[in-house]
Amino acid sequence: MPRWSITHLEDAPTLAHRPGLELKYDDGRNRVWLPTGDGAVLVERRDPVTGVWHADPPRG
């Protein structure tokens, strides 16, 4: 998955919405959601065996 700054992701087009989140990146294996308010970036990865999306644990 590429690395970007938050500013680059904020400027990227929104691909989808969830309550409080905007999907900014989706390559079929990884998704990056940005919060619409204060909050943490959500990164999800798809399990290649089950096809289920799982959120990465927060880092820091």
Question: What is the tens place of the pLDDT at every residue in 3-52?
Answer: 778 888 899 999 999 999 999 999 999 999 999 887 788 999 999 999 99
- Among residues 29, 24, 22, which one has the least CA distance to residue 56? 29
Which of helix, strand or coil describes residue 8? helix
- pLDDT value at residue 44: 95
pLDDT of 59 over the 90 cut: no
